Amino acid sequence: MLADVKEESNNNNNNKNEQDDVAIQTAVLMKLLQLVITGNSSNDNDSDSKLEVHNVRCARCGSSSFRSDRCKCLNYDKLNLCAKCFERRKESETHKSGHAFVRFKSPGELFGQSVTNDEVTFANLKELYGNNVHEFVSCDGCKSDTIKGWRFKCDTCPNYDLCMQCLKKQVTTKTHTSDHPLIVTTRLVIQQILVEDIELSGELGTGAFGIGVFFLQNN
């Protein structure tokens, strides 16, 4: 009987030790998760603080010093929205969410070129980018294989583009309706980097997609 009591006591101690180990592991994991979340939040705040301020007033929330993307309506040149109000499809009596917009990532810069606020109008942009040819991008309105001039990308429908003519006609389909906002995009030229200008810097790490490597461009 004494042996049975000792065995039962040992089993209880083993179970208690296992429970303690699980509790410790759980506490450690929770602490690590908290550190990761706190670190990411801090990084996000640091990134936001480094962004330049758009010195325009958002027509909906009234903010005049926002750091998120700036969306300027091309139907009403004086109307600007911060990215949050734009994504929430904020409207007014004169402004509808289905208007065409240009999106500023940085103040005074659009499509990689320095611009002033007054220069960003339908007429000026048409003159600057009217001859752009968007190869392999078809218009979902008229079904043209290639879009020439402006390309209007729907911010709601996935992979949906319209040419200038279809925009003027306010073309709609079963999925794309007139209240969907459209973003003007242009044919961006990607800088070609020669192979001999690339320097292997180091391995970043490995993951589900293989080994990540960091490259530097020689100047």
Encoding tokens for residue 37? 């979340």
Q: What is the signed CA dihedral for 99, 102, 108, 113, rounded to 10 degrees?
A: -150
For the chain, domain boundaries: 1-50
What integer pLDDT is reported at residue 5 of this predicted model?
41
**pLDDT values of the chain reduced to their tens digit, one per residue, 219 residues:** 545 544 555 555 555 566 666 667 777 677 666 666 655 544 444 444 456 776 788 888 888 777 778 888 888 888 888 888 888 876 666 666 678 888 888 777 777 777 777 778 777 877 777 777 888 889 999 999 999 888 899 988 988 999 989 988 888 887 888 888 888 887 654 344 445 544 544 444 444 444 444 444 454
Of the candidates 115, 116, 109, 107, the one whose C-alpha atom is nearest the C-alpha of residue 82 is 107
Residue 39 pLDDT: 55
**How far is Cα 47 from Cα 103, in angstroms, rounded to an integer?**
19
Which own/partner contact pairs does 103-111 have at CB distance under 8 Å and 24+ positions apart?
Answer: 103/69, 103/70, 103/71, 103/72, 103/183, 104/54, 104/69, 104/70, 104/71, 104/72, 105/69, 106/52, 107/52, 107/53, 107/54, 107/55, 107/70, 111/186, 111/188
Strands 133-134 and 109-110: unpaired
| pLDDT value at residue 210 | 47
Bridge partner list, 134:
147
